[in-house]
Amino acid sequence: MALIPGARLRRRHGDVDYVFRQHSDLLYLTGFEQPAAAALLTQNRYVLFVQPRDSEAETWTGLRPGVEGACERYGADEAHPIGELAQRLPEFIENAPRLHYPLGEDRSTDDLVVRSLEAVRGRARRGVTAPRNIADPRAILHEMRLRKEPEELELMRAAAEITREAHEQAARLCQPGTHEHEVEAELHYVFRRRGGAGPAYPSIVGSGDNATILHYIENRDQLQRGQLVLIDAGVELHGYASDVTRTYPVGGHFEGPAREVYELVLRAQESALGEIRPGATLRALHERAVGVFVEGLIELGALEGSAGELIEKEAYRPFYMHTTSHWLGLDVHDVGDYHVEGKPRPLEAGMVFTVEPGLYFPARDERTPERLRSIGVRIEDDVVVTEDGFEILTSSIPKRPDEVERCVRG
């Protein structure tokens, strides 16, 4: 038996809540998008606990599926008001040998589960037994989520198409005098206009030295001629994330060192992509990108010495401090182990991840050569492993230098 709780509304300020987003595990299993819900699963029964219909509450916050809708619209075998979970859970877990439940995610539900176990143990004289152990359902569930079904991939392809349009529209705004927040607004406009829930994560629009800050989200500076603009933004569509980074030249022309760095990052990404196949590992992709970067950083004058020694000492890390890939799905940094039995996990068909090498040369770092200062470039695509290779879900988003320049020039 498994009990999977959903997310709750969280207060933003005063009497205003954050925009609700369902916990990804419950969303994956049920598709149920309302707050204050939980799913109870056995081998032959699927039960939803949900907020009941309430005309007064619905006047303020919108219609609820309620208990009837949980069965009719979401396929539950039975459903009950969420307020009855504490009362009903002991009956459900009687004589179950094991309870799968994610301890530690929600303290109030943890307490409810503990009380339910105590209640069942108190019925021992009736011949009733309580679950003898609690297992973490994420060990199974996250393995399921790691391998995408065809229907999931179709959603991720649709998300990639929306993200393509958003990036192309935003690229046209990368002109001197535009503000970063104006570019961000264009991205979010397309995300919502095309039916997405909005950005899958806080959008990054970093111009000049801001592009060297990995998670820069203030997006308030004005674009200047000669700068690069790093845009890391993707839509969330029916819960699934797109995660794309492109780097655009303000005004539409890569010049001097900026073009050299851009072409180096593109070579590193292409080298990493060439490594993808079933049985390969994300570590191997990263090592391919690092190898290209170290050779290029020597040529750029940012590093000195032999490539082998520089890689061994990780001398590249001031300029490339993150890994090349992460899993992608319902979460932008999706679930799934990266290592199995202490070794890098072999890739399998259906696994989706990013390939996102980048180089960053902050002006504030004395190790940065003067001619490279305030240049930040990242190129990121979403990839799914196939039976005999891979598919780039975001391949329609331009990234060759001349294509990117044309996008900016419109």
Active-site residues: which are they? 15, 215, 232, 243, 322, 326, 333, 356, 360, 378, 380
Query: Are residues 221 and 207 in contact, defined by beta-carbon separation less than 8 angstroms?
Result: yes
Q: How far apart are CA 316 and CA 307, in angstroms?
A: 10
First to last CA, the chain: 56
Please give the helix or strand (H or E) that residue 251 lies within, else none. none
Count Cβ neighbours within 10 Å for each residue of 222-237 and write b for 16 or more, e otherwise: ebeeebbbbbbbbbbb
Nearest to 214 by CA among 337, 367, 377, 80: 377
Two tokens, residue 406: 């044309």
Long-range contacts of 107-111 (CB under 8 A, 24+ apart): 109/3, 109/5, 109/38
- Any idea which residue has 């072999």 for tokens? 346
CA angle 234, 232, 360 (to 5 degrees): 160
Q: With helix as H, strand as E and coil as C, how does 325-384 read?
A: CCECCCCCCCCCCCEECCEECECCCCEEEEECCEEEECCCCCCCCHHHCCEEEECEEEEE
Query: Are residues 6 and 26 in contact, defined by beta-carbon separation less than 8 angstroms?
Result: yes
Two tokens, residue 87: 């009362």
Q: How far apart are CA 205 and CA 166, in angstroms?
A: 13
Contacts of 121 (CB under 8 A, 6+ apart): 130
Q: CB neighbours (10 Å) of residue 314?
A: 12
β-pairing verdict for 339-340 and 98-100: unpaired
Q: How far apart are CA 300 and CA 313, in angstroms?
A: 19
